[in-house]
Amino acid sequence: MEENNIPEHVVNQFLNKNSSYPNIVRTRNITLDGINVLIEKNNLEWTNSIYDKGYIYIEGLVVWGKSKTFLYFKKNENEFTYKIHILTEDISKIDMLLIGLNKYYTIDKI
**Coil/strand/helix, residue 47:** strand
pLDDT digits (tens, 9 = 90+) for 63-78: 998 878 999 999 998 8
pTM, to two decimals: 0.89
pLDDT digits (tens, 9 = 90+) for 6-34: 999 999 999 999 989 999 999 999 999 99
Question: Which residue ranges make up each domain of the chain?
Answer: 2-104
Looking at residue 100, its amino acid is G
Beta bridge partners of 75: 82
Residues 6 or more apart in contact with residue 38 via CB below 8 angstroms: 62, 64, 71, 73
First to last CA, the chain: 18
